[in-house]
């Protein structure tokens, strides 16, 4: 199989290589075996801990918010009596076909200190003074989270919508005749039926967010003062921006692998529990 050969060359080989590198220390390509030196460095590295915390904060807030929104939109759009379904579906899906660079420029300009977002919020009297979105550690995180949510909610919504259309209509009809209210139909029929898809999107989104790189790199360059630095950005910085420290960078990347493994396992476990 050609695909497996390619995967072997471009995935498995680099994976093993980086695993081997994670036990090495040194500058540039001058590497020597360092045993667990990288791991002890990890525990004392404030920048790493910063990046780890940021990544976990992004994960904990962004993934649940995005998936709940996607589920709500999909549920609303699944109603065949809804006027303008095609329009809403296309509009909400639209962000995920945009070029990443294009939207980061657009977001940068919208969130500038005297930009449109601050104008809008001040006109509505939500805030009294402009918020320095990208220059404040807290708000910079908010912008990054909104940006990812803006881009990927529609994508997940399509998965849910597709799955919902596979649910047999007659189940809903029976429930309606029995007088089950709409929220209960959603909670006791739709959500359980969608469990495999919800699991799939949760795992994919978790993996995506743990590997987050593009948005913070383009919107904030990890700043201000590392408040939006993610693990992937740190790995990139360690290998290409500072003095190359490939071995240590590889060690950091295995932290992500371990996190993904643990979280995916927990998610599978949670999904199985509820089924029982």
Partner 1 sequence: MSNHLALLGRTAQYVLLSIAAFVSVFPFLWMVIGATNTSPDIIRGKVTPGSALLPNTANFLAAVDLPRILFNSFLIAGVGSALTLLVSSLAGYGFEMFRSRVRERIFGSLLLMLSIPFAALMIPLFVMMANLKLINTYQAVIFPTVASIFIIFYFRQTTKAFPHELRDAARIDGLKEWQIFFFVYMPVMRSTYAAATIIVFMTYWNNYLWPLIVLQTNDMFTLTLAVAALSAGYTPDFGMVMVGAIVATLPTLVIFFLLQRRFVEGMLGAVK
- Spatial neighbors of 172 by CB under 8 A, at least 6 apart, are 185, 189
Determine which residue in the list 38, 197, 202, 205 makes contact with partner 1, applying CB under 8 A: 197
Name beta bridge partners: 31: 26
Q: State which of residues 69, 175, 189, 191 lies at the interface with partner 1 (CB under 8 A).
A: 69
What's the min distance (Å) between Cβ of 56 and partner 1? 15
Residue 112 contacts partner 1 per CB under 8 A: yes
Phi then psi for 32, rounded to 5 degrees?
Answer: -135, 160
Q: Does 270 bind partner 1 (CB under 8 A)?
A: no
Counting contacts by CB under 8 A, is residue 158 touching partner 1? yes
Task: Closer to partner 1 by CB, 141 or 156: give it.
Answer: 156
Q: Which of residues 70-89 bind partner 1 (CB under 8 A)?
A: 72-73, 76-77, 79, 82, 87-89
Q: Does 248 bind partner 1 (CB under 8 A)?
A: no
Stretch that binds partner 1, among 42-50, 56-64, 208-216, 266-274 (CB under 8 A): 208-216
Q: Does 139 bind partner 1 (CB under 8 A)?
A: no
218 binds partner 1 (CB under 8 A): yes
184 in contact with partner 1 (CB under 8 A): no
d(CA 148, CA 201): 15
Residue 114's nearest CA partner among 106, 102, 122 is: 122
119 in contact with partner 1 (CB under 8 A):
yes
Is the Cβ of residue 87 or residue 242 nearer to partner 1 in the bound state? Answer: 87
d(CA 129, CA 113): 10
End-to-end CA distance of the chain: 39
Map residue 54 onto helix, strand or coil. helix
Please tell me whether residue 202 binds partner 1 under the rule CB under 8 A: no
The yes or no reply on residue 178 touching partner 1 (CB under 8 A) is: no
| 268 contacts partner 1 (rule: CB under 8 A) | no
Query: Residue 181 has what DSSP assignment?
Result: -
State how far the Cα of 14 lies from the Cα of 11, in Å rounded to an integer.
Answer: 6
Length of the chain counted residue by residue: 276
Looking at 25, 143, 235, 248, which residue binds partner 1 (CB under 8 A)?
235
Using the rule CB under 8 A, give the single segment among 30-38, 42-50, 59-67, 233-241 that binds partner 1: 233-241
DSSP three-state, residue 16:
helix
Rg value, the chain, Cα: 22
Residues 198/199/201/205 CA torsion (nearest 10 deg): 130
Nearest distance, CB of residue 45 and partner 1, angstroms? 16
């Amino acid at each position: 199989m050609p695909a497996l050969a390619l995967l072997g060359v471009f995935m498995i080989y680099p994976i093993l290589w980086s695993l081997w590198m994670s036990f090495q220390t040194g500058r540039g390509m001058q590497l020597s075996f360092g045993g667990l030196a990288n791991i002890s460095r990890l525990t004392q590295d404030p920048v790493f801990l910063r990046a780890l915390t940021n990544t976990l904060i992004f994960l904990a807030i962004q993934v649940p918010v995005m998936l709940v929104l996607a589920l709500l939109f999909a549920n609303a759009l699944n109603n065949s009596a809804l006027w303008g379904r095609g329009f809403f579906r296309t509009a909400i899906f639209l962000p995920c076909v945009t070029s990443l660079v294009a939207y980061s420029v657009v977001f940068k300009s919208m969130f500038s200190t005297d930009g449109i977002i601050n104008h809008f919020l001040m006109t509505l009297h939500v805030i009294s003074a402009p918020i320095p979105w990208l220059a404040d550690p807290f708000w910079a995180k908010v912008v990054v989270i909104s940006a990812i949510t803006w881009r990927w909610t529609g994508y997940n919504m399509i998965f849910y919508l597709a799955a919902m259309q596979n649910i047999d209509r007659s189940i809903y009809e029976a429930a309606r005749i029995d007088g089950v209210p709409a929220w209960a139909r959603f909670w006791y029929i739709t959500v359980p039926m969608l469990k495999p898809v919800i699991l799939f999107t949760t795992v994919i989104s978790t993996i995506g967010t743990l590997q987050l790189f593009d948005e913070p790199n383009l919107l904030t360059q990890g700043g201000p003062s590392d408040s939006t630095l993610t693990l992937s950005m740190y790995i990139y910085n360690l290998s290409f921006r500072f003095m190359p420290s490939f071995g240590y960078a590889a060690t950091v990347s295995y932290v992500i692998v371990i996190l993904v493994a643990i979280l995916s396992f927990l998610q599978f476990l949670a999904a199985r529990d509820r089924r029982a």
